[in-house]
Amino acid sequence: MQSQTLSDANKQAYMRGKRVLEINPRHPIIKELRERVISDPEDESVKETAKLVYQTSLMKSGFVLSDPKEFANSIYSSVKTSLKISSDATVDEEIEADEAEEVETAKEANEEDAAVNEDADTEPSIAIVSVFKSETV
């Protein structure tokens, strides 16, 4: 009985080491990727999308990616494409403390103007100081 248990444990360890990536050819993403590869085998966006799908599958299956920064950059690139943002768009510089005070002063002035024009049907304007730091997306 003990040899059966040991044998089962060995089989389970072997099976865990032999993972297989299964591709469902009926999945809409795979079907679309296939069509795009057929129409243009050298399309870089299709290659990047296929790589992103593969890396996502690895993560979903519990694997640790060898280069998580590359994966994150691929995600950001995909989001930029989806939002139709230029790939060479840069992050605006962060507003310095003095400039932030000026923006705050302008915001207070706008609030005072809004208080004077309470009967107006327009929404007050809002000044956005900083949403992201330059290192983040």
For the stretch 97-134, pLDDT in tens is 666 666 666 667 666 655 555 544 455 454 444 444 44
Local mean pLDDT, 10-residue blocks, the chain (137 residues): 58 66 90 95 92 91 89 92 88 75 67 56 48 44
pLDDT score at 48: 92
Read out DSSP for 68-125? Answer: HHHHHHHHHHHHHHHTT--TT--PPPPPPHHHHHHHHHHHHHHHHHHHHTTT--SPPP
pLDDT score at 129: 45
User: What are the distances in angstroms from CA 24 to CA 21, 27, 31, 54, 58?
Assistant: 10, 6, 9, 13, 15
Sorted by where each starts, the structural domains of the chain and their CATH numbers stand as 11-83 (1.20.120.790)
pLDDT score at 132: 45
User: What pTM was estimated for this model as a whole?
Assistant: 0.53
pLDDT score at 20: 75
User: What are the distances in angstroms from CA 84 to CA 22, 89, 130?
Assistant: 32, 11, 22
Crossing angle of helices 44-60 and 68-82, in 10° steps, is: 130
